[in-house]
Structure 1
Protein backbone atom coordinates (compact mmCIF):
# COMPACT_ATOMS: atom_id res chain seq x y z
CA UNK A 1 0.00 0.00 0.00
CA UNK A 2 1.21 3.46 -0.89
CA UNK A 3 1.44 5.61 2.24
CA UNK A 4 1.90 9.37 2.27
CA UNK A 5 3.59 10.58 5.45
CA UNK A 6 1.99 14.00 5.63
CA UNK A 7 3.17 16.89 7.76
CA UNK A 8 0.53 19.56 8.18
CA UNK A 9 1.13 22.79 6.25
CA UNK A 10 3.93 21.34 4.18
CA UNK A 11 4.94 20.42 0.66
CA UNK A 12 3.56 16.94 1.27
CA UNK A 13 0.15 18.36 0.35
CA UNK A 14 1.41 18.02 -3.23
CA UNK A 15 1.55 14.26 -2.87
CA UNK A 16 -1.91 13.92 -1.38
CA UNK A 17 -3.26 16.08 -4.20
CA UNK A 18 -1.43 14.03 -6.84
CA UNK A 19 -2.91 10.81 -5.48
CA UNK A 20 -6.38 12.32 -5.63
CA UNK A 21 -5.90 13.58 -9.19
CA UNK A 22 -4.75 10.12 -10.27
CA UNK A 23 -7.51 8.35 -8.37
CA UNK A 24 -5.05 6.13 -6.52
CA UNK A 25 -5.63 3.97 -3.49
CA UNK A 26 -3.38 5.27 -0.71
CA UNK A 27 -3.17 5.95 3.00
CA UNK A 28 -2.26 9.15 4.81
CA UNK A 29 -0.29 9.11 8.03
CA UNK A 30 -0.58 12.52 9.68
CA UNK A 31 2.18 14.27 11.59
CA UNK A 32 1.70 17.47 13.57
CA UNK A 33 4.25 20.27 13.83
CA UNK A 34 5.76 21.14 17.19
CA UNK A 35 3.58 23.96 18.60
CA UNK A 36 6.63 25.98 19.67
CA UNK A 37 9.18 25.43 16.90
CA UNK A 38 6.76 24.53 14.06
CA UNK A 39 9.22 21.77 13.12
CA UNK A 40 8.40 18.18 12.26
CA UNK A 41 7.94 15.75 15.20
CA UNK A 42 10.60 13.14 16.02
CA UNK A 43 8.48 10.36 14.45
CA UNK A 44 8.77 11.97 11.04
CA UNK A 45 12.36 13.11 11.50
CA UNK A 46 13.35 9.53 12.27
CA UNK A 47 11.57 8.10 9.27
CA UNK A 48 14.04 9.32 6.64
CA UNK A 49 17.58 10.73 6.89
CA UNK A 50 16.39 14.10 5.53
CA UNK A 51 13.91 14.43 8.38
CA UNK A 52 11.50 16.44 6.25
CA UNK A 53 8.16 16.01 4.52
CA UNK A 54 7.04 14.68 2.19
CA UNK A 55 8.00 11.07 2.53
CA UNK A 56 6.20 8.11 1.05
CA UNK A 57 6.46 4.42 1.74
CA UNK A 58 5.55 1.93 -0.96
CA UNK A 59 6.17 -1.57 0.26
CA UNK A 60 9.77 -1.59 1.44
CA UNK A 61 10.57 1.67 -0.34
CA UNK A 62 10.99 4.97 1.48
CA UNK A 63 11.29 8.03 -0.74
CA UNK A 64 11.62 11.74 0.06
CA UNK A 65 11.62 14.98 -1.98
CA UNK A 66 8.31 16.03 -3.49
CA UNK A 67 9.57 16.22 -7.08
CA UNK A 68 11.12 12.76 -6.90
CA UNK A 69 7.99 11.36 -5.25
CA UNK A 70 5.71 12.83 -7.91
CA UNK A 71 7.85 11.40 -10.71
CA UNK A 72 7.92 8.01 -8.98
CA UNK A 73 4.17 7.84 -8.37
CA UNK A 74 3.28 8.97 -11.89
CA UNK A 75 5.67 6.45 -13.45
CA UNK A 76 4.91 3.57 -11.08
CA UNK A 77 1.22 4.02 -10.39
CA UNK A 78 -0.13 6.71 -12.73
CA UNK A 79 0.66 5.37 -16.21
CA UNK A 80 2.50 8.59 -17.01
CA UNK A 81 -0.54 10.81 -16.50
CA UNK A 82 0.03 14.51 -15.68
CA UNK A 83 3.50 14.44 -17.23
CA UNK A 84 4.01 15.62 -20.81
CA UNK A 85 6.33 13.63 -23.05
CA UNK A 86 8.87 14.99 -25.55
CA UNK A 87 6.44 14.61 -28.45
CA UNK A 88 3.89 16.90 -26.84
CA UNK A 89 3.90 20.48 -28.24
CA UNK A 90 4.00 21.90 -24.69
CA UNK A 91 6.81 19.64 -23.50
CA UNK A 92 9.44 22.39 -23.15
CA UNK A 93 7.03 24.62 -21.21
CA UNK A 94 6.12 21.71 -18.97
CA UNK A 95 9.75 20.91 -18.22
CA UNK A 96 10.53 24.55 -17.46
CA UNK A 97 7.65 25.07 -15.01
CA UNK A 98 8.11 21.62 -13.49
CA UNK A 99 11.68 22.50 -12.52
CA UNK A 100 11.01 26.19 -11.81
CA UNK A 101 8.71 25.33 -8.91
CA UNK A 102 11.37 23.93 -6.57
CA UNK A 103 14.45 25.00 -8.48
CA UNK A 104 13.76 28.73 -8.29
CA UNK A 105 10.38 29.82 -6.96
CA UNK A 106 10.15 27.92 -3.67
CA UNK A 107 13.82 28.61 -2.72
CA UNK A 108 13.19 32.28 -3.55
CA UNK A 109 10.33 32.35 -1.07
CA UNK A 110 12.39 30.47 1.48
CA UNK A 111 15.30 32.91 1.36
CA UNK A 112 12.96 35.86 1.81
CA UNK A 113 11.25 34.07 4.70
CA UNK A 114 14.58 33.62 6.48
CA UNK A 115 15.44 37.31 6.09
CA UNK A 116 12.09 38.29 7.56
CA UNK A 117 12.50 35.95 10.51
CA UNK A 118 15.94 37.39 11.14
CA UNK A 119 14.30 40.84 11.07
CA UNK A 120 16.74 42.08 8.45
CA UNK A 121 15.85 45.72 7.58
CA UNK A 122 13.94 46.04 4.32
CA UNK A 123 16.52 48.52 2.99
CA UNK A 124 19.38 46.08 3.57
CA UNK A 125 21.02 45.52 0.15
CA UNK A 126 20.57 41.75 0.34
CA UNK A 127 16.94 42.12 1.41
CA UNK A 128 16.29 44.54 -1.44
CA UNK A 129 17.91 42.19 -3.93
CA UNK A 130 16.04 39.08 -2.77
CA UNK A 131 12.74 40.92 -2.48
CA UNK A 132 13.16 42.11 -6.05
CA UNK A 133 13.89 38.58 -7.24
CA UNK A 134 10.74 37.32 -5.57
CA UNK A 135 8.64 40.07 -7.14
CA UNK A 136 10.10 39.15 -10.53
CA UNK A 137 9.24 35.50 -9.92
CA UNK A 138 5.62 36.32 -9.14
CA UNK A 139 5.47 38.61 -12.18
CA UNK A 140 6.80 35.83 -14.44
CA UNK A 141 4.16 33.40 -13.21
CA UNK A 142 1.43 36.02 -13.52
CA UNK A 143 2.45 36.79 -17.10
CA UNK A 144 2.39 33.12 -18.02
CA UNK A 145 -1.05 32.61 -16.49
CA UNK A 146 -2.36 35.55 -18.48
CA UNK A 147 -1.49 33.60 -21.63
CA UNK A 148 -2.60 30.06 -20.78
CA UNK A 149 -4.94 28.46 -18.23
CA UNK A 150 -2.28 26.23 -16.69
CA UNK A 151 1.47 26.56 -16.42
CA UNK A 152 2.36 24.04 -19.12
CA UNK A 153 -0.35 25.35 -21.42
CA UNK A 154 -3.91 24.15 -21.94
CA UNK A 155 -3.52 21.03 -19.81
CA UNK A 156 -3.37 20.69 -16.05
CA UNK A 157 -0.12 18.87 -15.22
CA UNK A 158 2.23 17.96 -12.41
CA UNK A 159 3.88 21.36 -12.91
CA UNK A 160 0.74 22.92 -11.41
CA UNK A 161 0.80 20.51 -8.48
CA UNK A 162 4.42 21.46 -7.83
CA UNK A 163 3.76 25.20 -7.97
CA UNK A 164 0.48 25.75 -6.12
CA UNK A 165 1.93 25.06 -2.66
CA UNK A 166 4.24 28.06 -3.00
CA UNK A 167 1.34 30.27 -4.07
CA UNK A 168 -0.90 29.15 -1.22
CA UNK A 169 0.17 27.26 1.91
CA UNK A 170 3.72 28.62 1.83
CA UNK A 171 2.20 32.04 2.47
CA UNK A 172 1.48 30.92 6.05
CA UNK A 173 5.25 31.10 6.52
CA UNK A 174 6.04 33.83 4.00
CA UNK A 175 3.05 36.19 3.70
CA UNK A 176 2.69 37.72 0.23
CA UNK A 177 0.01 40.00 -1.16
CA UNK A 178 -1.24 38.59 -4.46
CA UNK A 179 -3.35 41.63 -5.32
CA UNK A 180 -0.81 42.84 -7.93
CA UNK A 181 -1.09 39.49 -9.72
CA UNK A 182 -4.66 39.10 -11.04
CA UNK A 183 -3.79 36.19 -13.31
CA UNK A 184 -2.41 34.20 -10.39
CA UNK A 185 -5.57 34.92 -8.42
CA UNK A 186 -7.76 33.76 -11.30
CA UNK A 187 -5.59 30.64 -11.65
CA UNK A 188 -6.01 29.81 -7.98
CA UNK A 189 -9.77 29.93 -8.40
CA UNK A 190 -9.46 27.41 -11.23
CA UNK A 191 -7.39 25.23 -8.95
CA UNK A 192 -9.87 25.63 -6.09
CA UNK A 193 -12.64 24.36 -8.37
CA UNK A 194 -10.88 21.05 -8.93
CA UNK A 195 -12.59 18.31 -6.94
CA UNK A 196 -9.33 16.44 -6.45
CA UNK A 197 -7.75 19.53 -4.89
CA UNK A 198 -10.72 19.99 -2.59
CA UNK A 199 -10.57 16.37 -1.46
CA UNK A 200 -6.81 16.49 -0.97
CA UNK A 201 -6.84 19.58 1.21
CA UNK A 202 -9.73 18.28 3.28
CA UNK A 203 -7.96 14.95 3.84
CA UNK A 204 -4.50 16.41 4.38
CA UNK A 205 -5.19 19.61 6.31
CA UNK A 206 -8.84 19.54 7.43
CA UNK A 207 -10.03 22.87 8.78
CA UNK A 208 -7.05 24.83 7.48
CA UNK A 209 -8.20 27.99 5.67
CA UNK A 210 -6.89 27.82 2.12
CA UNK A 211 -4.91 30.88 1.01
CA UNK A 212 -6.43 31.11 -2.45
CA UNK A 213 -6.79 34.89 -2.58
Structure 2
Protein backbone atom coordinates (compact mmCIF):
# COMPACT_ATOMS: atom_id res chain seq x y z
CA UNK A 1 0.00 0.00 0.00
CA UNK A 2 1.10 3.57 -0.68
CA UNK A 3 2.19 5.40 2.44
CA UNK A 4 2.13 9.21 2.54
CA UNK A 5 4.51 10.76 5.03
CA UNK A 6 2.33 13.74 5.75
CA UNK A 7 3.60 16.83 7.54
CA UNK A 8 0.78 18.99 8.88
CA UNK A 9 -0.01 22.13 6.86
CA UNK A 10 2.33 21.29 4.03
CA UNK A 11 2.61 20.51 0.35
CA UNK A 12 1.80 16.89 1.14
CA UNK A 13 -1.86 17.86 1.42
CA UNK A 14 -2.14 18.01 -2.36
CA UNK A 15 -0.67 14.50 -2.65
CA UNK A 16 -3.55 13.25 -0.52
CA UNK A 17 -5.91 15.06 -2.88
CA UNK A 18 -4.31 13.39 -5.90
CA UNK A 19 -4.58 9.96 -4.31
CA UNK A 20 -8.25 10.57 -3.57
CA UNK A 21 -8.79 11.70 -7.16
CA UNK A 22 -7.12 8.50 -8.39
CA UNK A 23 -9.27 6.48 -5.96
CA UNK A 24 -6.23 4.69 -4.56
CA UNK A 25 -5.89 3.08 -1.15
CA UNK A 26 -3.21 4.73 0.97
CA UNK A 27 -2.06 5.15 4.53
CA UNK A 28 -1.31 8.54 6.10
CA UNK A 29 1.65 8.69 8.47
CA UNK A 30 1.38 12.00 10.27
CA UNK A 31 4.20 14.25 11.45
CA UNK A 32 3.99 17.42 13.53
CA UNK A 33 5.97 20.60 12.95
CA UNK A 34 8.39 21.96 15.50
CA UNK A 35 6.44 24.75 17.27
CA UNK A 36 9.43 27.12 17.16
CA UNK A 37 10.98 26.48 13.74
CA UNK A 38 7.92 25.06 11.87
CA UNK A 39 10.28 22.42 10.48
CA UNK A 40 9.48 18.75 10.21
CA UNK A 41 10.67 16.34 12.93
CA UNK A 42 13.94 14.41 12.78
CA UNK A 43 11.94 11.21 12.28
CA UNK A 44 11.22 12.26 8.71
CA UNK A 45 14.92 11.87 7.91
CA UNK A 46 14.52 8.14 8.42
CA UNK A 47 12.27 8.19 5.35
CA UNK A 48 14.27 10.66 3.24
CA UNK A 49 17.63 12.28 4.07
CA UNK A 50 16.30 15.84 3.78
CA UNK A 51 13.52 15.21 6.27
CA UNK A 52 10.99 17.09 4.20
CA UNK A 53 7.43 16.37 3.12
CA UNK A 54 5.81 15.18 0.93
CA UNK A 55 7.40 11.79 0.64
CA UNK A 56 5.63 8.60 -0.36
CA UNK A 57 6.66 5.00 -0.14
CA UNK A 58 5.13 2.50 -2.52
CA UNK A 59 6.43 -0.96 -1.73
CA UNK A 60 10.20 -0.62 -1.74
CA UNK A 61 10.16 2.66 -3.67
CA UNK A 62 10.57 6.04 -1.98
CA UNK A 63 9.60 9.14 -3.97
CA UNK A 64 10.08 12.72 -2.79
CA UNK A 65 9.21 16.19 -4.19
CA UNK A 66 5.63 17.08 -5.09
CA UNK A 67 6.15 17.23 -8.86
CA UNK A 68 8.08 13.96 -8.95
CA UNK A 69 5.44 12.23 -6.80
CA UNK A 70 2.67 13.49 -9.08
CA UNK A 71 4.50 12.25 -12.19
CA UNK A 72 5.16 8.87 -10.57
CA UNK A 73 1.56 8.34 -9.46
CA UNK A 74 0.16 9.34 -12.85
CA UNK A 75 2.64 7.17 -14.75
CA UNK A 76 1.84 4.14 -12.65
CA UNK A 77 -1.82 4.51 -11.74
CA UNK A 78 -3.59 6.96 -14.07
CA UNK A 79 -3.98 4.40 -16.84
CA UNK A 80 -6.99 6.21 -18.33
CA UNK A 81 -5.10 9.54 -18.50
CA UNK A 82 -7.84 11.34 -16.57
CA UNK A 83 -5.55 13.82 -14.87
CA UNK A 84 -2.97 14.50 -17.56
CA UNK A 85 -3.71 15.69 -21.12
CA UNK A 86 -2.13 13.61 -23.85
CA UNK A 87 -1.62 16.12 -26.66
CA UNK A 88 -1.92 19.66 -27.99
CA UNK A 89 -1.97 22.92 -26.09
CA UNK A 90 -3.59 21.30 -23.07
CA UNK A 91 -0.54 19.07 -22.59
CA UNK A 92 1.83 22.02 -22.96
CA UNK A 93 -0.21 24.05 -20.46
CA UNK A 94 -0.31 21.12 -18.07
CA UNK A 95 3.48 20.75 -18.11
CA UNK A 96 4.03 24.48 -17.74
CA UNK A 97 1.84 24.93 -14.67
CA UNK A 98 3.02 21.68 -13.08
CA UNK A 99 6.55 23.12 -12.97
CA UNK A 100 5.61 26.80 -12.55
CA UNK A 101 4.06 26.13 -9.13
CA UNK A 102 7.34 25.25 -7.41
CA UNK A 103 9.83 26.66 -9.91
CA UNK A 104 8.52 30.23 -10.17
CA UNK A 105 5.71 31.11 -7.77
CA UNK A 106 6.47 29.27 -4.55
CA UNK A 107 10.05 30.58 -4.04
CA UNK A 108 8.76 34.17 -4.02
CA UNK A 109 5.94 33.27 -1.64
CA UNK A 110 8.43 31.64 0.74
CA UNK A 111 10.58 34.77 0.63
CA UNK A 112 7.50 36.89 1.31
CA UNK A 113 6.58 34.72 4.31
CA UNK A 114 10.10 35.04 5.74
CA UNK A 115 10.07 38.82 5.33
CA UNK A 116 6.67 38.99 7.05
CA UNK A 117 7.78 36.85 10.00
CA UNK A 118 11.18 38.43 10.73
CA UNK A 119 9.76 41.56 12.45
CA UNK A 120 7.44 39.34 14.49
CA UNK A 121 10.32 37.42 16.07
CA UNK A 122 11.60 38.36 19.55
CA UNK A 123 14.33 41.02 19.37
CA UNK A 124 15.46 44.14 21.26
CA UNK A 125 12.82 46.88 20.93
CA UNK A 126 15.24 49.27 19.23
CA UNK A 127 16.03 46.69 16.54
CA UNK A 128 12.42 45.94 15.60
CA UNK A 129 11.80 49.20 13.62
CA UNK A 130 15.01 48.59 11.66
CA UNK A 131 14.06 44.98 10.91
CA UNK A 132 10.59 46.08 9.84
CA UNK A 133 12.02 48.76 7.56
CA UNK A 134 14.54 46.40 5.92
CA UNK A 135 12.08 43.56 5.35
CA UNK A 136 9.49 46.03 4.07
CA UNK A 137 11.96 47.38 1.54
CA UNK A 138 12.88 43.88 0.40
CA UNK A 139 9.21 43.18 -0.25
CA UNK A 140 8.61 46.54 -1.93
CA UNK A 141 11.70 46.56 -4.15
CA UNK A 142 12.35 42.89 -4.87
CA UNK A 143 9.52 40.47 -4.03
CA UNK A 144 6.35 42.38 -4.95
CA UNK A 145 7.57 43.61 -8.38
CA UNK A 146 8.24 39.98 -9.28
CA UNK A 147 5.23 38.31 -7.74
CA UNK A 148 2.60 40.76 -9.05
CA UNK A 149 3.23 39.96 -12.76
CA UNK A 150 3.04 36.25 -11.97
CA UNK A 151 -0.28 36.66 -10.20
CA UNK A 152 -1.62 38.79 -13.06
CA UNK A 153 -0.55 36.12 -15.55
CA UNK A 154 -2.32 33.44 -13.52
CA UNK A 155 -5.40 35.65 -13.27
CA UNK A 156 -5.54 36.11 -17.04
CA UNK A 157 -5.06 32.39 -17.65
CA UNK A 158 -7.98 31.56 -15.36
CA UNK A 159 -10.03 34.27 -17.02
CA UNK A 160 -9.78 32.31 -20.27
CA UNK A 161 -10.40 28.81 -18.96
CA UNK A 162 -11.87 27.00 -15.98
CA UNK A 163 -8.75 25.08 -14.98
CA UNK A 164 -5.07 25.55 -15.75
CA UNK A 165 -5.00 23.14 -18.70
CA UNK A 166 -8.49 23.84 -20.03
CA UNK A 167 -11.97 22.87 -18.94
CA UNK A 168 -11.03 19.72 -17.02
CA UNK A 169 -9.31 19.26 -13.69
CA UNK A 170 -5.76 17.94 -14.07
CA UNK A 171 -2.84 17.27 -11.75
CA UNK A 172 -1.52 20.72 -12.69
CA UNK A 173 -4.45 22.21 -10.76
CA UNK A 174 -3.63 20.03 -7.79
CA UNK A 175 -0.01 21.22 -7.96
CA UNK A 176 -1.02 24.89 -8.30
CA UNK A 177 -3.51 24.75 -5.44
CA UNK A 178 -0.94 25.00 -2.66
CA UNK A 179 0.94 28.13 -3.81
CA UNK A 180 -2.33 29.93 -4.54
CA UNK A 181 -3.70 28.97 -1.14
CA UNK A 182 -0.44 30.28 0.32
CA UNK A 183 -0.79 33.49 -1.69
CA UNK A 184 -4.27 34.01 -0.27
CA UNK A 185 -2.76 34.22 3.23
CA UNK A 186 0.00 36.66 2.22
CA UNK A 187 -1.68 38.89 -0.34
CA UNK A 188 -4.97 40.66 -0.95
CA UNK A 189 -6.70 38.71 -3.72
CA UNK A 190 -9.45 41.28 -4.26
CA UNK A 191 -8.07 42.25 -7.64
CA UNK A 192 -7.67 38.60 -8.66
CA UNK A 193 -11.29 37.35 -8.84
CA UNK A 194 -10.48 34.40 -11.09
CA UNK A 195 -7.82 33.13 -8.69
CA UNK A 196 -10.37 33.44 -5.89
CA UNK A 197 -12.88 31.54 -8.01
CA UNK A 198 -10.30 28.81 -8.66
CA UNK A 199 -9.67 28.39 -4.94
CA UNK A 200 -13.39 28.06 -4.27
CA UNK A 201 -13.61 25.44 -7.03
CA UNK A 202 -10.80 23.50 -5.39
CA UNK A 203 -12.49 23.53 -1.99
CA UNK A 204 -15.73 22.20 -3.51
CA UNK A 205 -14.08 19.18 -5.14
CA UNK A 206 -15.28 16.01 -3.35
CA UNK A 207 -11.83 14.42 -3.57
CA UNK A 208 -10.25 17.53 -2.03
CA UNK A 209 -12.72 17.43 0.84
CA UNK A 210 -11.92 13.77 1.48
CA UNK A 211 -8.21 14.60 1.54
CA UNK A 212 -8.79 17.34 4.10
CA UNK A 213 -10.66 14.91 6.35
CA UNK A 214 -7.77 12.46 6.21
CA UNK A 215 -4.95 15.01 6.40
CA UNK A 216 -6.45 17.32 9.00
CA UNK A 217 -7.49 20.95 8.99
CA UNK A 218 -5.35 22.78 6.46
CA UNK A 219 -4.00 26.29 6.89
CA UNK A 220 -0.99 27.20 4.76
CA UNK A 221 1.98 28.71 6.55
Asked if TM exceeds 0.5, the reply is: yes
Shift of 1:90: 1.4
TM-score relative to the length of structure 2: 0.86
- Give, in whole Å, the separation in 1 of the partners of 2:85 and 2:109: 27
> What is the aligned residue count?
206
- Give, in whole Å, the separation in 1 of the partners of 2:46 and 2:144: 35
Contact 1:112 1:127 in 2 (8 A): no
Contact 2:115 2:136 in 1 (8 A): no
Q: For each residue in 1:19-65, what CA deviation from the matched residue of structure 2 results, as whole angstroms up to 9, or x when unmatched? A: 00111111111111112221101111332012100000111111110
TM-score relative to the length of structure 1: 0.89
- Give, in whole Å, the separation in 2 of the partners of 1:182 and 1:6: 31
Match of 1:121 in 2: 135
Identify the structure with the greater helix proportion. 2
Q: For each residue in 1:151-210, what CA deviation from the matched residue of structure 2 results, as whole angstroms up to 9, or x when unmatched? A: 111111011000101111x359x622211211111111111111001111121123x468
2:159 aligned with 1:146, yes or no? yes
- Give, in whole Å, the separation in 1 of the partners of 2:54 and 2:35: 19
Q: Compare CA radii of gyration and give the structure with the larger one.
A: 2
Contact 1:115 1:127 in 2 (8 A): no
Match of 2:84 in 1: 83
Contact 1:74 1:81 in 2 (8 A): no
| SS of residue matched to 1:67 | helix
Shift of 1:12: 0.4
| SS of residue matched to 2:186 | coil
Match of 1:196 in 2: 207
| SS of residue matched to 1:5 | strand
Deviates more, 1:107-116 or 1:91-100: 107-116
- Give, in whole Å, the separation in 1 of the partners of 2:49 and 2:107: 21
- Give, in whole Å, the separation in 1 of the partners of 2:144 and 2:89: 34
Listed as ranges, the gaps of 5+ residues in structure 2 are: 120-133
Contact 2:9 2:220 in 1 (8 A): no
- Residues 98 and 6 (structure 1), Cα distance of their counterparts in 2 relative to 1, 3 Å cut: same
Listed as ranges, the gaps of 5+ residues in structure 1 are: none
